[in-house]
A and B are shown apart, each in its own frame.
Chain A
Amino acid sequence: MTLLTIFLMALITFTTRYLFIHPRLPVCLGAKMAKLLSFSAPAVLTAIWVPIIFIQQGELNVSLNNPYLIAATFAVIAAAKSKSIYLTMFIGLITFVLSRYLLTV
């Protein structure tokens, strides 16, 4: 039963990725639509990471007791200044581990 569930899930994840790149699908994108879609990467990726920072166990946490928020602040500054993915990840993870440790002591 679990095996069947897993294969059906695979069918769904593949379909959501593949459907719109299938050539025979009768979809034609105009210039306006293409411009709109050019904003999809910043929009979707932001909608993934921001709730991780602000919502824990279903509740909004905007306070200095939130290690996610402290570390994300440093990471955003590092990303804006350096544009380096490694430096941003390094600074973000270090401040996350440190603030988590300091807040629980």
Chain B
Amino acid sequence: MALTKKKARLLMAKKGFLDMLPLNLAVLPWGILCGSLAIQRDFSALEAILMPLVVFAGSAQLVAIELIANNASLATILFTTFIISSRHFLYGLALRDKLKILPTKWRYGLGFLLTDELFALSSHSKSFVGQLRLIYAVVAGGSFYVFWLLWNVTGVIAGSYLPDLTHLGLDFAIAVTFIALVIPTIINLPILVTVIVAALLSVLFKLMQFELDLVAAALIAMYCGYLTDRFQHKNTKDDDNNTLSPSVKDST
């Protein structure tokens, strides 16, 4: 039975929603924390809701709330936001060739929705290629936006009734989601090297209180993965030459 266009679009939208659903649920505690913390730190309801609505970033929101509450200077707040967000430059670069050719409307929309979570679902070599995969991405990314907003609003409403949630270990929900996303993608040695280097360096840099800890660890890890890949290719090429040369000799 052939799929009609409309049916195919609906199926892709459904798949985007379902693929993002576990991530949407995993950020529930994180979103409630962001919303309630803003209220507890004397933000107005409007300010607390504008955070997820326009800033739309988990860790940047959380850190900025504490900085604003402590009367940090505007420059400090903006610089910290920039440092925490700078990992997104890598996502844009990685997806550049696929996204830069899109019509303006799609490009701005997907650019806004390009979170860690959407990027984690974009590793397929053909992601964002063709209308159906765009629908998938917009529904996945858009549903994440809606859920993030919903959890934040819940936190804002419940805010004054909730105890201080910052020390409850809610960050584990984020960690376990990323474990579930990363571990199954380790299918070869270069990716394994990348993950191990990123793990070691991110912990080391964080302990050193290095401001660009995350991005520096990721960049060095990527380069190690790249070098491993190059090394493997070089070796297989050498093997090819070795197996080739005796047969050449035989034929002469």
The answer to whether A46 and B202 have CB atoms under 8 Å apart is yes
For A60, the closest partner residue in chain B by CB is B207
Min CB gap A40→B, angstroms = 5
Q: List chain A residues, Cβ under 8 A from B206.
A: 51, 55
Binary CB contact string for chain A from 66 to 105 against chain B (1 if under 8 A, 0 otherwise) = 0110011001100110011110110011001000100000
The reply to whether the CB of B74 lies closer than 8 angstroms to some CB of chain A is yes
The answer to whether B183 and A79 have CB atoms under 8 Å apart is yes
Given B68, B203, B218, which contacts A60 in the complex, CB threshold below 8 Å? B203
The answer to whether A34 and B179 have CB atoms under 8 Å apart is no
The answer to whether A47 and B198 have CB atoms under 8 Å apart is yes
Contact A75:B182 (CB < 8 A) given known A8-B78, A12-B81, A89-B22: no
Q: List chain A residues, Cβ under 8 A from B163.
A: none
A93 to B25 CA separation, bound complex (whole angstroms): 13
A83 to B209 CA separation, bound complex (whole angstroms): 34
Min CB gap B15→A, angstroms = 14
Tell me the total A-B contact number using a CB cutoff of 8 A. Answer: 253
Interface size of B in residues (CB-CB distance below 8 Å): 89
Interface size of A in residues (CB-CB distance below 8 Å): 64
Binary CB contact string for chain A from 18 to 46 against chain B (1 if under 8 A, 0 otherwise) = 11111100010100101111111111111
The reply to whether the CB of B185 lies closer than 8 angstroms to some CB of chain A is yes
Min CB gap B93→A, angstroms = 5
Q: List chain A residues, Cβ under 8 A from B92.
A: 16-21
The answer to whether A75 and B214 have CB atoms under 8 Å apart is no
For B197, the closest partner residue in chain A by CB is A43
The answer to whether B198 and A89 have CB atoms under 8 Å apart is no
The answer to whether B172 and A68 have CB atoms under 8 Å apart is yes
The answer to whether A80 and B172 have CB atoms under 8 Å apart is no
For B72, the closest partner residue in chain A by CB is A5
The answer to whether B202 and A88 have CB atoms under 8 Å apart is no
Min CB gap B124→A, angstroms = 11
The reply to whether the CB of B158 lies closer than 8 angstroms to some CB of chain A is no
Given contacts A29-B93, A32-B226, A79-B182, 14 further A-B contacts (CB under 8 A): A3-B47, A16-B85, A23-B100, A41-B122, A42-B186, A43-B198, A45-B182, A46-B194, A46-B195, A49-B179, A55-B203, A58-B209, A79-B180, A89-B176
- 26 interchain pairs, CB-CB under 8 A: A6-B54, A10-B55, A10-B56, A12-B85, A18-B111, A20-B92, A22-B100, A23-B101, A36-B222, A37-B93, A37-B222, A39-B190, A42-B198, A43-B195, A43-B197, A43-B219, A45-B178, A45-B182, A48-B202, A49-B178, A68-B175, A71-B172, A75-B176, A79-B182, A85-B180, A93-B176
Residues of B within 8 A of A (CB): 22, 26, 43-44, 46-47, 50-51, 54-57, 60, 64, 68, 74, 77-78, 81-82, 85-97, 99-101, 107-108, 110-112, 114-116, 119-120, 122-123, 169, 171-186, 190-191, 194-195, 197-199, 201-203, 206-207, 209, 213-214, 217-219, 221-223, 225-226, 229
Residues of A within 8 A of B (CB): 2-3, 5-10, 12-14, 16-23, 27, 29, 32, 34-55, 58, 60, 67-68, 71-72, 75-76, 79-80, 83-86, 88-89, 92-93, 96, 100
